[in-house]
Amino acid sequence: MTELRKVAIVGSARIPFARGHTAYADETNLSMMATAIGGLAEKYGFKGEKIDEVMGGAVINHARDFNLAREALLDAGLSPLTPGTTMQIACGTSLQAALALASKIATGEIESGIAAGSDSVSDSPVVFGNRFQHRIIDLSRARSAGEKVRAFKGFSFGELRPVAPSTQEPRTGLSMGQHCELMAREWGITREAQDMWALGSHQKAAKAYDEGFHDDLLVPCAGLLRDNNVRPDTTLEKMATMKPAFDKASGHGTLTAANSTPLTDGASSVLLASEEWARSRGLPVLAYLTMGKVAANNFAGGDGLLMAPTIAVSELLQRAKLSFSDIDLFELHEAFAAQVLCTLKAWNDPDYCKTVLGRSEPMGEIDAARINVKGSSLAYGHPFAATGARILGLTAKLLEEEAKQRALISVCTAGGMGVAALVERA
Protein backbone atom coordinates (compact mmCIF):
# COMPACT_ATOMS: atom_id res chain seq x y z
CA MET A 1 0.00 0.00 0.00
CA THR A 2 1.30 3.45 -0.92
CA GLU A 3 2.22 5.59 2.08
CA LEU A 4 0.31 8.86 2.09
CA ARG A 5 2.40 11.98 1.64
CA LYS A 6 1.93 15.41 3.20
CA VAL A 7 0.16 17.95 1.01
CA ALA A 8 1.85 21.33 1.06
CA ILE A 9 0.02 24.62 0.62
CA VAL A 10 2.61 26.71 -1.21
CA GLY A 11 0.53 29.87 -1.45
CA SER A 12 -2.37 31.60 -3.10
CA ALA A 13 -3.41 34.49 -5.31
CA ARG A 14 -6.76 36.06 -5.96
CA ILE A 15 -8.16 39.12 -7.59
CA PRO A 16 -9.85 41.70 -5.36
CA PHE A 17 -13.51 40.86 -4.87
CA ALA A 18 -16.04 43.36 -6.20
CA ARG A 19 -19.69 43.95 -5.52
CA GLY A 20 -21.78 42.81 -8.45
CA HIS A 21 -22.17 45.22 -11.38
CA THR A 22 -19.28 47.43 -10.29
CA ALA A 23 -15.59 46.99 -11.17
CA TYR A 24 -15.97 43.71 -13.03
CA ALA A 25 -19.06 44.52 -15.05
CA ASP A 26 -17.14 43.72 -18.25
CA GLU A 27 -15.29 40.65 -16.89
CA THR A 28 -16.27 36.99 -17.14
CA ASN A 29 -15.69 33.86 -15.09
CA LEU A 30 -12.99 32.94 -17.59
CA SER A 31 -11.14 36.27 -17.56
CA MET A 32 -11.23 36.50 -13.77
CA MET A 33 -10.06 32.94 -13.15
CA ALA A 34 -7.30 33.32 -15.74
CA THR A 35 -6.12 36.50 -14.00
CA ALA A 36 -6.04 34.77 -10.61
CA ILE A 37 -4.16 31.72 -11.93
CA GLY A 38 -1.83 33.92 -13.97
CA GLY A 39 -1.05 35.95 -10.86
CA LEU A 40 -0.27 32.74 -8.98
CA ALA A 41 2.07 31.63 -11.76
CA GLU A 42 3.88 34.97 -11.75
CA LYS A 43 4.15 34.95 -7.97
CA TYR A 44 5.76 31.52 -7.79
CA GLY A 45 7.63 31.50 -11.10
CA PHE A 46 5.97 28.74 -13.09
CA LYS A 47 4.56 30.76 -16.00
CA GLY A 48 4.73 28.61 -19.12
CA GLU A 49 5.39 25.47 -17.10
CA LYS A 50 3.33 22.32 -16.69
CA ILE A 51 1.31 21.90 -13.52
CA ASP A 52 -0.03 18.39 -13.01
CA GLU A 53 -3.67 19.53 -12.78
CA VAL A 54 -5.82 22.60 -12.39
CA MET A 55 -9.24 21.97 -10.87
CA GLY A 56 -11.99 24.47 -10.21
CA GLY A 57 -15.21 25.91 -11.46
CA ALA A 58 -18.03 28.41 -11.14
CA VAL A 59 -21.55 28.25 -9.77
CA ILE A 60 -23.08 30.69 -12.26
CA ASN A 61 -22.18 29.01 -15.52
CA HIS A 62 -22.45 29.91 -19.17
CA ALA A 63 -22.76 27.18 -21.79
CA ARG A 64 -19.71 28.70 -23.47
CA ASP A 65 -17.57 27.78 -20.44
CA PHE A 66 -17.67 24.07 -21.23
CA ASN A 67 -14.35 23.44 -19.43
CA LEU A 68 -13.66 26.62 -17.51
CA ALA A 69 -10.59 25.34 -15.66
CA ARG A 70 -8.82 24.20 -18.83
CA GLU A 71 -9.53 27.41 -20.76
CA ALA A 72 -8.51 29.57 -17.80
CA LEU A 73 -5.15 27.87 -17.33
CA LEU A 74 -4.41 28.29 -21.03
CA ASP A 75 -5.34 31.97 -20.91
CA ALA A 76 -3.22 32.30 -17.76
CA GLY A 77 -0.13 31.21 -19.66
CA LEU A 78 0.47 27.77 -18.17
CA SER A 79 1.88 25.06 -20.40
CA PRO A 80 -0.76 23.55 -22.72
CA LEU A 81 0.36 20.19 -21.33
CA THR A 82 -1.46 21.10 -18.08
CA PRO A 83 -4.85 19.34 -17.80
CA GLY A 84 -7.85 21.18 -16.42
CA THR A 85 -10.87 19.72 -14.64
CA THR A 86 -14.04 21.73 -14.07
CA MET A 87 -16.20 20.81 -11.09
CA GLN A 88 -18.87 22.44 -8.93
CA ILE A 89 -20.28 22.03 -5.44
CA ALA A 90 -21.88 25.44 -5.00
CA CYS A 91 -20.09 27.70 -2.49
CA GLY A 92 -17.67 24.91 -1.55
CA THR A 93 -16.35 24.50 -5.10
CA SER A 94 -12.74 25.66 -4.76
CA LEU A 95 -12.29 24.10 -1.32
CA GLN A 96 -13.62 20.79 -2.62
CA ALA A 97 -11.26 21.15 -5.60
CA ALA A 98 -8.35 21.60 -3.18
CA LEU A 99 -9.38 18.49 -1.25
CA ALA A 100 -9.64 16.45 -4.46
CA LEU A 101 -6.20 17.59 -5.61
CA ALA A 102 -4.79 16.94 -2.13
CA SER A 103 -5.94 13.33 -2.33
CA LYS A 104 -4.11 12.89 -5.63
CA ILE A 105 -0.95 14.47 -4.25
CA ALA A 106 -1.12 12.40 -1.06
CA THR A 107 -1.30 9.14 -3.02
CA GLY A 108 1.43 10.13 -5.48
CA GLU A 109 -0.82 10.41 -8.54
CA ILE A 110 0.30 14.01 -9.08
CA GLU A 111 2.99 16.29 -7.66
CA SER A 112 1.33 19.68 -8.05
CA GLY A 113 -2.13 21.16 -8.50
CA ILE A 114 -4.01 24.44 -8.52
CA ALA A 115 -7.47 24.76 -7.00
CA ALA A 116 -9.45 27.70 -8.33
CA GLY A 117 -12.89 29.23 -8.36
CA SER A 118 -14.57 32.12 -10.12
CA ASP A 119 -18.02 33.64 -10.14
CA SER A 120 -19.67 36.65 -11.72
CA VAL A 121 -23.18 37.88 -11.02
CA SER A 122 -22.48 40.76 -13.42
CA ASP A 123 -22.17 38.28 -16.29
CA SER A 124 -25.03 35.98 -15.32
CA PRO A 125 -26.45 33.92 -18.18
CA VAL A 126 -29.87 35.10 -19.32
CA VAL A 127 -31.85 32.33 -20.98
CA PHE A 128 -35.22 31.94 -22.66
CA GLY A 129 -37.99 29.58 -21.67
CA ASN A 130 -38.09 26.01 -22.91
CA ARG A 131 -40.49 26.67 -25.78
CA PHE A 132 -38.41 29.37 -27.45
CA GLN A 133 -35.21 27.50 -26.67
CA HIS A 134 -36.46 24.46 -28.58
CA ARG A 135 -37.47 26.70 -31.47
CA ILE A 136 -33.87 27.97 -31.74
CA ILE A 137 -32.54 24.41 -31.64
CA ASP A 138 -34.98 23.36 -34.35
CA LEU A 139 -33.95 26.40 -36.41
CA SER A 140 -30.27 25.50 -36.13
CA ARG A 141 -31.05 21.99 -37.42
CA ALA A 142 -33.31 23.11 -40.22
CA ARG A 143 -32.07 22.24 -43.72
CA SER A 144 -34.76 23.87 -45.83
CA ALA A 145 -36.82 27.04 -45.87
CA GLY A 146 -39.90 25.01 -44.99
CA GLU A 147 -38.24 23.53 -41.91
CA LYS A 148 -37.16 26.99 -40.81
CA VAL A 149 -40.71 28.30 -41.12
CA ARG A 150 -42.12 25.29 -39.23
CA ALA A 151 -39.68 25.95 -36.38
CA PHE A 152 -41.64 29.15 -35.63
CA LYS A 153 -45.15 27.83 -36.18
CA GLY A 154 -47.42 29.16 -33.44
CA PHE A 155 -44.79 31.61 -32.17
CA SER A 156 -45.88 34.32 -29.74
CA PHE A 157 -43.86 37.31 -28.55
CA GLY A 158 -44.40 36.21 -24.95
CA GLU A 159 -41.87 33.45 -25.59
CA LEU A 160 -39.15 36.11 -25.82
CA ARG A 161 -39.53 36.92 -22.13
CA PRO A 162 -36.17 35.89 -20.59
CA VAL A 163 -35.89 33.71 -17.51
CA ALA A 164 -34.14 35.82 -14.88
CA PRO A 165 -31.23 34.29 -12.91
CA SER A 166 -32.46 32.83 -9.62
CA THR A 167 -30.92 31.74 -6.33
CA GLN A 168 -33.96 29.75 -5.29
CA GLU A 169 -33.49 26.18 -4.12
CA PRO A 170 -35.17 23.89 -6.67
CA ARG A 171 -36.65 21.62 -3.97
CA THR A 172 -38.19 24.35 -1.83
CA GLY A 173 -38.57 27.43 -4.01
CA LEU A 174 -36.95 29.50 -1.26
CA SER A 175 -33.79 31.55 -1.61
CA MET A 176 -30.76 30.95 0.59
CA GLY A 177 -31.61 34.11 2.52
CA GLN A 178 -35.16 32.95 3.14
CA HIS A 179 -33.87 29.63 4.39
CA CYS A 180 -31.43 31.40 6.69
CA GLU A 181 -34.28 33.50 8.09
CA LEU A 182 -35.97 30.25 9.10
CA MET A 183 -32.73 29.10 10.75
CA ALA A 184 -32.35 32.38 12.64
CA ARG A 185 -35.91 32.07 13.91
CA GLU A 186 -35.41 28.45 14.98
CA TRP A 187 -32.20 29.21 16.87
CA GLY A 188 -33.30 32.54 18.32
CA ILE A 189 -30.63 34.64 16.59
CA THR A 190 -31.42 38.33 16.99
CA ARG A 191 -30.94 41.14 14.49
CA GLU A 192 -28.62 42.87 16.97
CA ALA A 193 -26.35 39.81 17.27
CA GLN A 194 -26.15 39.52 13.49
CA ASP A 195 -25.26 43.19 13.06
CA MET A 196 -22.59 42.92 15.75
CA TRP A 197 -21.01 39.95 13.98
CA ALA A 198 -21.05 41.74 10.62
CA LEU A 199 -19.54 44.88 12.12
CA GLY A 200 -16.71 42.82 13.58
CA SER A 201 -16.01 41.23 10.20
CA HIS A 202 -15.63 44.63 8.53
CA GLN A 203 -13.47 46.00 11.34
CA LYS A 204 -11.11 43.01 11.27
CA ALA A 205 -10.88 43.07 7.47
CA ALA A 206 -10.10 46.79 7.45
CA LYS A 207 -7.40 46.28 10.07
CA ALA A 208 -5.90 43.43 8.00
CA TYR A 209 -5.65 45.81 5.05
CA ASP A 210 -4.08 48.52 7.18
CA GLU A 211 -1.49 46.02 8.41
CA GLY A 212 -0.63 44.97 4.85
CA PHE A 213 -1.78 41.38 5.35
CA HIS A 214 -3.35 41.21 1.90
CA ASP A 215 -0.55 42.88 -0.03
CA ASP A 216 0.95 39.66 -1.43
CA LEU A 217 -2.36 37.82 -1.78
CA LEU A 218 -4.04 40.11 -4.31
CA VAL A 219 -3.57 40.38 -8.08
CA PRO A 220 -4.95 43.62 -9.64
CA CYS A 221 -7.78 43.12 -12.10
CA ALA A 222 -9.61 45.66 -14.27
CA GLY A 223 -8.03 48.49 -12.31
CA LEU A 224 -9.24 47.22 -8.93
CA LEU A 225 -6.52 46.91 -6.28
CA ARG A 226 -8.50 45.84 -3.21
CA ASP A 227 -11.89 44.38 -2.28
CA ASN A 228 -14.50 47.09 -2.69
CA ASN A 229 -17.00 45.75 -0.18
CA VAL A 230 -14.97 46.28 3.01
CA ARG A 231 -16.61 49.07 5.02
CA PRO A 232 -14.18 50.39 7.66
CA ASP A 233 -16.52 53.27 8.49
CA THR A 234 -19.70 51.26 9.04
CA THR A 235 -21.43 51.42 12.42
CA LEU A 236 -24.19 49.62 14.25
CA GLU A 237 -26.29 52.76 13.85
CA LYS A 238 -25.94 52.63 10.06
CA MET A 239 -26.69 48.90 10.03
CA ALA A 240 -29.81 49.44 12.10
CA THR A 241 -31.34 51.57 9.34
CA MET A 242 -31.33 48.66 6.86
CA LYS A 243 -34.64 47.00 6.09
CA PRO A 244 -35.06 43.18 6.07
CA ALA A 245 -33.87 41.77 2.75
CA PHE A 246 -35.59 38.37 2.63
CA ASP A 247 -38.58 38.50 4.98
CA LYS A 248 -40.14 41.82 4.08
CA ALA A 249 -43.73 41.11 5.06
CA SER A 250 -43.94 39.44 8.47
CA GLY A 251 -42.37 42.23 10.49
CA HIS A 252 -39.96 39.73 12.04
CA GLY A 253 -37.22 39.63 9.38
CA THR A 254 -33.69 39.92 10.78
CA LEU A 255 -31.43 39.39 7.75
CA THR A 256 -30.49 42.62 5.98
CA ALA A 257 -28.04 43.73 3.33
CA ALA A 258 -25.72 44.73 6.17
CA ASN A 259 -25.49 41.32 7.84
CA SER A 260 -25.62 39.23 4.65
CA THR A 261 -22.96 38.81 1.98
CA PRO A 262 -23.52 40.92 -1.14
CA LEU A 263 -23.71 39.46 -4.63
CA THR A 264 -20.05 39.48 -5.59
CA ASP A 265 -17.69 38.97 -8.55
CA GLY A 266 -14.23 37.51 -8.12
CA ALA A 267 -11.79 34.63 -8.50
CA SER A 268 -9.14 32.93 -6.39
CA SER A 269 -6.50 30.20 -6.67
CA VAL A 270 -4.27 28.09 -4.41
CA LEU A 271 -1.12 26.13 -5.27
CA LEU A 272 -0.81 22.68 -3.66
CA ALA A 273 2.13 20.32 -4.05
CA SER A 274 4.15 17.52 -2.58
CA GLU A 275 6.93 18.69 -0.31
CA GLU A 276 9.51 17.34 -2.75
CA TRP A 277 8.05 19.31 -5.67
CA ALA A 278 7.95 22.53 -3.66
CA ARG A 279 11.41 22.18 -2.12
CA SER A 280 13.03 21.28 -5.44
CA ARG A 281 11.82 24.60 -6.86
CA GLY A 282 12.74 26.65 -3.83
CA LEU A 283 9.09 27.35 -3.06
CA PRO A 284 7.75 27.88 0.45
CA VAL A 285 5.59 25.45 2.37
CA LEU A 286 3.24 27.60 4.43
CA ALA A 287 1.07 24.81 5.80
CA TYR A 288 -0.33 21.36 5.13
CA LEU A 289 -3.84 20.49 4.02
CA THR A 290 -4.30 17.40 6.16
CA MET A 291 -7.94 16.38 6.08
CA GLY A 292 -11.36 17.25 4.66
CA LYS A 293 -14.98 16.27 4.93
CA VAL A 294 -18.14 16.95 2.93
CA ALA A 295 -21.57 16.43 4.47
CA ALA A 296 -25.21 17.00 3.60
CA ASN A 297 -28.55 17.16 5.37
CA ASN A 298 -32.24 16.88 4.60
CA PHE A 299 -32.82 20.61 4.25
CA ALA A 300 -36.03 20.09 2.25
CA GLY A 301 -37.31 18.16 5.27
CA GLY A 302 -36.54 21.02 7.63
CA ASP A 303 -32.96 20.40 8.73
CA GLY A 304 -31.78 23.94 7.94
CA LEU A 305 -30.28 24.65 4.52
CA LEU A 306 -26.96 25.98 5.83
CA MET A 307 -26.51 23.68 8.85
CA ALA A 308 -24.61 20.87 7.12
CA PRO A 309 -21.20 22.33 8.10
CA THR A 310 -22.04 21.35 11.68
CA ILE A 311 -22.06 17.73 10.51
CA ALA A 312 -18.95 18.02 8.33
CA VAL A 313 -16.92 19.60 11.14
CA SER A 314 -18.13 17.10 13.73
CA GLU A 315 -17.25 14.11 11.57
CA LEU A 316 -13.89 15.57 10.56
CA LEU A 317 -12.86 16.18 14.17
CA GLN A 318 -14.00 12.72 15.22
CA ARG A 319 -11.90 11.19 12.47
CA ALA A 320 -8.90 13.32 13.46
CA LYS A 321 -9.49 12.57 17.17
CA LEU A 322 -9.51 16.30 17.91
CA SER A 323 -11.79 18.72 19.74
CA PHE A 324 -12.31 22.47 19.53
CA SER A 325 -9.63 22.95 22.20
CA ASP A 326 -7.06 21.51 19.76
CA ILE A 327 -7.82 24.15 17.10
CA ASP A 328 -6.04 27.49 17.21
CA LEU A 329 -7.91 29.31 14.45
CA PHE A 330 -11.37 28.90 12.96
CA GLU A 331 -12.27 30.17 9.50
CA LEU A 332 -16.04 29.97 9.21
CA HIS A 333 -17.44 31.24 5.92
CA GLU A 334 -19.93 34.03 6.58
CA ALA A 335 -22.67 33.57 4.01
CA PHE A 336 -24.83 35.35 6.56
CA ALA A 337 -24.02 36.41 10.09
CA ALA A 338 -27.01 34.34 11.16
CA GLN A 339 -25.53 31.20 9.60
CA VAL A 340 -22.36 31.48 11.67
CA LEU A 341 -24.29 32.22 14.85
CA CYS A 342 -26.69 29.31 14.28
CA THR A 343 -23.73 26.99 13.71
CA LEU A 344 -21.94 28.09 16.88
CA LYS A 345 -25.13 27.69 18.90
CA ALA A 346 -25.80 24.22 17.49
CA TRP A 347 -22.34 22.95 18.40
CA ASN A 348 -23.03 23.92 22.00
CA ASP A 349 -26.57 22.51 22.11
CA PRO A 350 -26.85 19.10 23.89
CA ASP A 351 -29.97 17.98 22.02
CA TYR A 352 -28.65 18.95 18.57
CA CYS A 353 -25.29 17.33 19.20
CA LYS A 354 -27.00 14.14 20.34
CA THR A 355 -29.76 13.81 17.75
CA VAL A 356 -28.02 15.28 14.67
CA LEU A 357 -24.31 14.78 15.34
CA GLY A 358 -24.55 11.55 17.31
CA ARG A 359 -22.46 12.87 20.18
CA SER A 360 -23.02 12.14 23.85
CA GLU A 361 -21.92 15.66 24.83
CA PRO A 362 -21.98 19.11 23.19
CA MET A 363 -18.96 20.02 21.11
CA GLY A 364 -18.71 23.20 23.16
CA GLU A 365 -18.22 26.91 22.73
CA ILE A 366 -15.51 28.51 20.60
CA ASP A 367 -13.69 31.62 21.77
CA ALA A 368 -14.78 34.38 19.37
CA ALA A 369 -11.21 35.71 19.38
CA ARG A 370 -10.16 32.61 17.41
CA ILE A 371 -12.80 32.95 14.69
CA ASN A 372 -12.20 34.79 11.41
CA VAL A 373 -9.42 36.89 12.89
CA LYS A 374 -8.91 38.80 9.62
CA GLY A 375 -12.61 39.12 8.87
CA SER A 376 -14.45 36.98 6.35
CA SER A 377 -17.08 36.92 3.64
CA LEU A 378 -19.38 39.55 5.12
CA ALA A 379 -16.57 42.04 4.61
CA TYR A 380 -14.68 40.72 1.59
CA GLY A 381 -17.70 39.52 -0.35
CA HIS A 382 -18.65 36.07 -1.59
CA PRO A 383 -18.11 35.12 -5.26
CA PHE A 384 -19.60 31.67 -4.71
CA ALA A 385 -17.02 29.29 -6.17
CA ALA A 386 -14.06 31.49 -5.24
CA THR A 387 -14.63 31.69 -1.49
CA GLY A 388 -13.10 28.35 -0.50
CA ALA A 389 -9.76 29.09 -2.15
CA ARG A 390 -9.75 32.59 -0.66
CA ILE A 391 -10.17 31.15 2.82
CA LEU A 392 -7.65 28.34 2.29
CA GLY A 393 -4.96 30.72 1.05
CA LEU A 394 -5.60 33.18 3.87
CA THR A 395 -5.54 30.37 6.45
CA ALA A 396 -2.20 28.99 5.29
CA LYS A 397 -0.60 32.43 5.45
CA LEU A 398 -2.16 33.11 8.84
CA LEU A 399 -0.82 29.91 10.40
CA GLU A 400 2.66 30.63 9.08
CA GLU A 401 2.73 34.27 10.18
CA GLU A 402 1.21 33.78 13.61
CA ALA A 403 3.03 30.50 14.35
CA LYS A 404 -0.23 28.73 15.15
CA GLN A 405 -0.54 24.96 14.81
CA ARG A 406 -4.01 24.12 13.50
CA ALA A 407 -6.88 25.81 11.73
CA LEU A 408 -10.34 24.57 10.89
CA ILE A 409 -12.20 25.75 7.77
CA SER A 410 -15.96 25.45 7.32
CA VAL A 411 -18.00 26.47 4.26
CA CYS A 412 -21.78 26.16 3.93
CA THR A 413 -23.24 25.61 0.48
CA ALA A 414 -26.50 25.66 -1.37
CA GLY A 415 -28.27 22.33 -1.61
CA GLY A 416 -27.90 21.60 2.09
CA MET A 417 -24.20 20.73 2.09
CA GLY A 418 -21.08 21.72 3.97
CA VAL A 419 -17.35 21.39 3.31
CA ALA A 420 -14.77 21.34 6.09
CA ALA A 421 -10.99 21.13 6.07
CA LEU A 422 -8.16 20.87 8.57
CA VAL A 423 -4.97 22.83 7.94
CA GLU A 424 -1.75 22.47 9.95
CA ARG A 425 1.28 24.71 10.09
CA ALA A 426 4.45 23.49 8.38
Closest CA to 13 of 217, 316, 222, 153: 217
CA–CA separation, 326 and 346 (whole Å): 19
SS3 of the chain: the string is CCCCCCEEEEEEEECCCEECCCCCCCCCHHHHHHHHHHHHHHHHCCCCCCCCCEEEECCCCCCCCCCHHHHHHHHCCCCCCCCEEECCECECHHHHHHHHHHHHHHHCCCCEEEEEEEECCCCCCCEECHHHHHHHHHHHHCCCHHHHHHHCCCCCHHHHCEECCCCECCCCCCEHHHHHHHHHHHHCCCHHHHHHHHHHHHHHHHHHHHCCCCCCCECCECCECCCCCCCCCCCHHHHHCCCECCCCCCCCCCCECCCECCEEEEEEEEEEEEHHHHHHCCCCCCEEEEEEEEEECCHHHCCCCCCHHHHHHHHHHHHHCCCHHHCCEEEECCCEHHHHHHHHHHHCCHHHHHHCCCCCCCCCCCCHHHECCCCCHHHHCECHHHHHHHHHHHHHHHHHHHCCCEEEEEEEECCCEEEEEEEEEC
Q: Which of the residues 180, 221, 342, 412 is marked catalytic?
A: 412
Let me know if 214 is a catalytic residue: no
Let me know if 179 is a catalytic residue: no
Q: Which of the residues 179, 214, 333, 382 is marked catalytic?
A: 382
CA–CA separation, 53 and 167 (whole Å): 31
Distance of CA 245 to the CA centre of its chain: 21
Let me know if 221 is a catalytic residue: no
CA–CA separation, 137 and 151 (whole Å): 9
For the chain, give the number of residues.
426
Q: Which of the residues 91, 180, 221, 342 is marked catalytic?
A: 91
Active-site residue numbers? 91, 382, 412
